[in-house]
Structure 1
């Protein structure tokens, strides 16, 4: 099903969804940055730039409580957090590089153990994707098999038109349901032309060739060369739409506290530290190698999906200028 929506009506749609009690998340100005944040009204939607952090926080919060405990004279009382309390959510104007990561993450969170917190958020979220009409030098979605107009992961997909509106394609039943419930805000198919899509500078890479090289180069001087600059700060993992490492920690005291799940990163020195004191990845070259191996070999071997969508956030944020796209180009050229 294809419709169009004007920008004023897109903002009105947000107002309507909020009034219905839904949690609406979209790009929003936050100081000098744009972030995916809860919107209280359509006017807050900022369509000007790619948010600094990814949209994975809609499904996988930076920190979440999974149970609480409290001790009294009758004993210790443990209370589980009920995933059913997670609200119905609409993620609006999420870029293809963010949206495409959601079904990638589905695999790991529903594999040997089903993470009901993540899965319940996914079940209760309708995603409205937005095509990219602009790209900067860090964007490389086309290099990893995606595109600025990729609909993967979207329920409803918006493509900017020359008249300032958006062509709207319903991709899934969730998208069709949202269209049907707010039909008065949409019009029939567009007469205006779509704006040209962005053109990332790095073209498609031979990802299978890269996977095969990684399969036979666990020990290679390249890892030392790259990691000589890596600060192990974790910015790349925290900003990435597809990175999903986390830790679970009990916080509090004898009387009460909580068990919380919080983001972690394989680039941190203590990430693989054992209780014995042994650390199998005790130096930065082995940690950076794991980052590349995980994204372009291990996850591919396990789930037949790559753990990178080419958003370029890690490139923009790296304090020492490590460019993962350049690393992939070098491997691809070998």
Structure 2
């Protein structure tokens, strides 16, 4: 069912929803950007439609809503432990089609990747409903069309922001009840971006052989990458973490165990007991990430892990382009010179 709400009416809707839901959307944080006097657009709680910055691609993905950067798993003393608690409210997230598809990748990793579910992810994820923000035009560095993540119908409500009003396509029955008294019905069907400026052809998995791992392509990235891990942190589908035991200063025998984001580009990520470490050079880390995004995950789950949001290209201080890397791999395989 479609509706058109003036911004004031939509704010009243948000006010009512906030009684039951935590509302998250991309919002602008002034003077918090990468460079001096620049802003950061990332996900945060909102109360009014005016807080939602839908005009730009958010610099950070919405994954931290269900997979926090730092998350306490349990508290411990000498004699017992107690699992951490989560808030009682449900969660409503405003996000784009590529990020909804990215959430599905996270679902696969945390909930379907083996015999056991990640309960810490699940208890937040089961609270979430999606409000899809219509995305008709491509942003810089996006290649979602090539990755097949430009479309989704997996949402509770879709919205189109117009000047002074919001068009809504409501599918969820619980949300539909909030529109009962609204007579301003409208025929609204969300549109999707059909073409990106950047186009990639994902390599044929059958052509990828171990010989590709030794290609000089990765040596080039070894010289350029600085191992900062920014690409991992902004990626919608990167899911790696490490664990830390924190002892309290006032009682060192009590504390908490936390899991904290980590990434394959970051130093010490592959450190093991006994002083062993793998993929020390940055080129091999780029190779590992690339193969995971377009080969390993696809081989197991039947779709590519990368959703083509382009945030990794946006954030890299060395201007390394992941979409260009995919193109290079594809070209090498087509030419067949990876066997040399």
Q: Which TM bucket (shorter chain)?
A: 0.7 to 0.9
Is the 1:132–1:198 Cα contact (8 Å) retained in structure 2?
no
After the TM superposition, which residues 120-269 of structure 1 pair with which residues of structure 2 at under 5 Å, given as runs? 120-147=123-150, 150-151=151-152, 153-159=154-160, 165-168=166-169, 170=171, 175-185=172-182, 187-190=184-187, 197=193, 199-203=195-199, 205-207=200-202, 209=204, 211-216=205-210, 217-253=212-248, 254-269=252-267
What TM-score do you get using the length of structure 2 for normalisation?
0.85
Q: CA deviation at 1:128?
A: 0.4
Q: In the alignment, which residue of structure 2 is the partner of 1:22?
A: 21
Is the 1:129–1:156 Cα contact (8 Å) retained in structure 2?
yes
What TM-score do you get using the length of structure 1 for normalisation?
0.86
1:125-177 CA-to-partner distances (Å, cap 9, x unmatched) read 11101121332331111121122xx125433223457995425152xxxx233
Q: In the alignment, which residue of structure 1 is the partner of 2:77?
A: 70
Bigger Cα displacement from structure 2, 59-68 vs 35-44: 35-44
2:80 counterpart SS class:
strand
Is the 2:41–2:58 Cα contact (8 Å) retained in structure 1?
yes
Distance in 2 between residues matched to 1:300 and 1:252, nearest whole Å:
40
Is the 1:249–1:261 Cα contact (8 Å) retained in structure 2?
yes
Distance in 2 between residues matched to 1:127 and 1:273, nearest whole Å:
37
After the TM superposition, which residues 51-90 of structure 1 pair with which residues of structure 2 at under 5 Å, given as runs? 51-71=58-78, 76-82=79-85, 85=87, 87-90=89-92
Q: CA deviation at 1:119?
A: 1.2
Is the 1:64–1:262 Cα contact (8 Å) retained in structure 2?
yes
Q: In the alignment, which residue of structure 1 is the partner of 2:33?
A: none
Alpha-carbon distance change, 68 to 196 in structure 1, aligned in 2, over 3 angstroms: closer
Alpha-carbon distance change, 286 to 179 in structure 1, aligned in 2, over 3 angstroms: same
1:279-298 CA-to-partner distances (Å, cap 9, x unmatched) read 12222111111000111111
Is the 2:170–2:176 Cα contact (8 Å) retained in structure 1?
no
Distance in 2 between residues matched to 1:275 and 1:7, nearest whole Å:
60
Q: CA deviation at 1:7?
A: 5.1
Q: In the alignment, which residue of structure 2 is the partner of 1:329?
A: 327
Distance in 2 between residues matched to 1:231 and 1:185, nearest whole Å:
54
Unaligned 5+ runs, structure 2: 31-38, 335-340
Is the 1:24–1:89 Cα contact (8 Å) retained in structure 2?
yes
Q: CA deviation at 1:194?
A: 6.8
1:98 counterpart SS class:
helix
Distance in 2 between residues matched to 1:194 and 1:22, nearest whole Å:
24
Bigger Cα displacement from structure 2, 57-66 vs 26-35: 26-35
Alpha-carbon distance change, 321 to 189 in structure 1, aligned in 2, over 3 angstroms: same
